Amino acid sequence: MKFKIDQNLPAEYAVLLREGGFEANSVDEERLGGADDGVISERVRAERRVVLSLDLGFADIRAYPPQEHSGIVVLRAKGQDKINLISMLRRLMPMLRERSPEGELWIVESDRVRFREY
């Protein structure tokens, strides 16, 4: 599975995903920092990557239909400090090994993951 990490998440996300056996790069690594969500959406679709973001804009299924993406994962952290966000990814990674977000929107909260299938 391939991931694109949005600029609002720690750079360590890409490293942790790679260490976990996934392919991952960040928006910043590709010099897309500050790019509009639409630009990022087009890039992840072209590259067939799952986008990981804190941006609720990606949860708008009218603007970003999940069935047209390799997966959209939006994190809804109570605290957006680096330690909390990295902890959320560590809890999410086993789920990603068992289930693909292909064509789905996942809303990841501190105590649960909501899956919206299309």
pLDDT at 116: 86
The half-sphere exposure of 89 on its side-chain side, counting CA atoms within 13 A, is: 24
Q: With beta carbons less than 8 A apart as the criterion, state whether 73 and 108 touch.
A: yes
Structure confidence at residue 45 (pLDDT): 95
The DSSP element (H or E) to which 113 belongs, if any, is strand 113-117
Kind and range of the H or E element at 107?
A: strand 104-109
Q: Write down the domain spans for the chain.
A: 2-117
What global pTM score does this model have? 0.92
pLDDT along the chain (118 residues), means of 10: 94 94 91 84 95 95 94 92 92 95 94 86
Contact 50, 101 (CB under 8 A): yes
pLDDT at 96: 95
Q: What pLDDT shows up at residue 32?
A: 78
Q: What is the pLDDT of residue 2?
A: 97
Q: What pLDDT score does 114 carry?
A: 93
Sheet strand arrangement including 2-5: 23-26, 2-5, 50-53, 72-76, 104-109, 113-117
pLDDT value for 76: 95
